[in-house]
């Protein structure tokens, strides 16, 4: 790491750090944050001519304390409108999306599309942003290690920057802290940062946030990340050989969609993912035996994440190979069939209310007596289950003024993280996110593009095009 000063127009920026292990493009992204001059417009004078994006720092002879000269025109600063109010409907299509739903992209800092796509998908969750905003610089829980604290701060600050910016953002600070917390994301190959697995980035980031965003001195019930993404599973573990049987409860942040020759649809893949075989010691047999583990959902999250298990370790090539098989997924997902019997009973009344509400919107006649009875059942169910959190389908408000609602087991697709290529550690990752106005945006690093629903359903695989790797659904709820 060396420190230089940069002269641009009449300004001099002192003590600008250059990480010589990264490409000059990353340095240009830093200067973009300072000057507003996009990397492609920057002309920086170094030994031998202009600084190129992919140049090798070791050949440029840049020294500690050196003054560099930069030329280039900054993006025009947005001024207060001199004319009267312009209505959103009068703006061009792409500007309407910017006005109604945020579409700022993230600069790729060198094979960081796995990180950018993960951040764009998680940035779309208002409840997560709300929890991050409440997280204080000084209010670190003593149970949280310093690197987790810094990663949480960096996530919060980056989300804030994305919310305030229309131009692409360089996630420099976040990336530096991520690599410090999880060194595997800083792996180099021939001096270049390697592509990483987006699912690993997603999982590690959520795990860190789950530790940081837990209320100090509280039980796990006040874990914000668990409240937003946590899926409670209840499992029956059975050994056919000895007839031993046990049960266990666990909390996970995603369901797995296992892919085989029999799997053509998400439902089939999730069904396979909820069954597995375990090899463990059998007390009855006095030796190792095979157990069948069958799981059911016992508590639902606000946001349901599903990972397509597309990668497996291929010994011949010594890398994660990819299953290209097409697996369709719906825009609306009903998980009722995957729920435990107890949870299904609690979902029945809210589901009837939802059917009645949707029926009224379509102009269908609804049995009001039945509807009133069902609504009363919801309240009774809520009262009966208030002392037992397990399996409770109610959604506890996370913010003041937010109404309490009931889960229905029905979810709407709001984000898709795709991968293009043949290996998890190569290729390209992209985030596709549904905005609050109902429109979809493809976040391909610093180049967001408006998309339509048909584009989203084409991401199911079957070739070398972008295919869904992680998908996220938002719960459809009814008011209590």
> Mind telling me the catalytic residues?
113, 428
Strands 405-420 and 428-434: antiparallel
Half-sphere CA count of 475, side-chain side, radius 13 A: 27
Contact of 399 with 418, CB cutoff 8 Å: no
Neighbours of 306 (CB within 10 A): 22
Give SS3 for 252: strand
CA distances to 267, 394, 409, 417, 466 from 332, in Å:
12, 20, 11, 17, 21
CA distance 6 to 135: 35
Give SS3 for 355: helix
Question: Is 434 exposed, middle or buried (CB count within 10 Å of its CB: 0-12, 13-18, 19+)?
Answer: buried
Task: Please name which of 256, 125, 131, 111 lies closest in space to residue 186, comparing C-alpha atoms.
Answer: 111
Task: Please name which of 220, 413, 401, 404 lies closest in space to residue 335, comparing C-alpha atoms.
Answer: 413
Question: Is 194 exposed, middle or buried (CB count within 10 Å of its CB: 0-12, 13-18, 19+)?
Answer: middle
């Amino acid at each position: 790491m060396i420190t230089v000063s940069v002269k641009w127009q009449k300004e001099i920026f002192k003590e600008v750090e250059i990480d010589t292990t990264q490409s000059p493009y990353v340095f240009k992204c830093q200067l973009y944050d300072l000057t507003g001059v996009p990397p492609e417009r920057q002309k920086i004078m170094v030994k031998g001519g202009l600084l190129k994006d992919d140049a090798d720092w070791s050949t440029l002879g840049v020294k500690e304390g050196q003054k560099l000269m930069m030329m280039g025109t900054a993006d025009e600063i947005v001024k207060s409108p001199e004319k009267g109010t312009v209505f959103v409907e009068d703006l061009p299509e792409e500007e309407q999306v910017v006005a109604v739903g945020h579409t700022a992209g993230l600069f790729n800092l060198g094979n960081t599309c796995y990180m950018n796509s993960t951040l764009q998908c998680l940035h779309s969750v208002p409840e997560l942003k709300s929890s991050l905003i409440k997280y204080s610089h000084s209010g670190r829980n003593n149970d949280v290690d310093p690197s987790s604290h810094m990663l949480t701060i960096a996530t919060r600050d980056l989300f804030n920057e994305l919310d305030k910016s229309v131009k692409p953002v360089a996630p420099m600070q976040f990336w530096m802290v991520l690599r410090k917390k999880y060194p595997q994301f800083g792996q180099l190959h021939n001096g270049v940062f390697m592509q990483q697995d987006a699912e690993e980035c997603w999982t590690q980031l959520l795990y860190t946030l789950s530790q940081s965003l837990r209320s100090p001195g509280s039980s796990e019930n006040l874990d914000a990340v668990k409240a937003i993404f946590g899926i409670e599973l209840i499992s029956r573990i059975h050994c056919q050989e000895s007839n031993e049987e046990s049960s266990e409860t666990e909390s996970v942040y995603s369901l797995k969609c296992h892919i085989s020759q029999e799997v053509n649809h998400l439902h089939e893949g999730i069904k396979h993912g909820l069954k597995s075989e375990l090899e463990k010691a059998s007390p009855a047999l006095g030796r190792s035996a095979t157990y069948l583990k069958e799981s059911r959902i016992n508590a639902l999250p606000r946001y349901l994440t599903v990972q397509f298990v597309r990668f497996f370790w291929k010994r011949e090539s010594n890398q994660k190979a990819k299953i290209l098989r097409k697996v369709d997924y719906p825009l609306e997902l009903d998980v009722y069939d995957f729920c435990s019997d107890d949870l299904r009973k609690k979902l029945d009344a809210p589901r009837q209310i939802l059917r009645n509400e949707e029926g009224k919107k379509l102009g269908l006649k609804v049995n009001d007596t039945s509807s009133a009875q069902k609504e009363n059942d919801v309240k009774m169910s809520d009262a009966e289950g208030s002392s037992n959190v397990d399996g409770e389908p109610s959604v506890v408000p996370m913010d003041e003024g937010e109404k309490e609602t009931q889960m229905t087991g029905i979810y709407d697709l709001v984000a898709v993280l795709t991968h293009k290529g043949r290996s998890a550690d190569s290729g390209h990752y992209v985030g596709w996110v549904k905005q609050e106005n109902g429109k979809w945006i493809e976040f391909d690093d610093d180049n967001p593009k408006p998309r339509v629903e048909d584009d989203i359903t084409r991401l199911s695989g079957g070739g070398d095009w972008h295919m869904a790797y992680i998908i996220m659904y938002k719960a459809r709820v009814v008011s209590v």
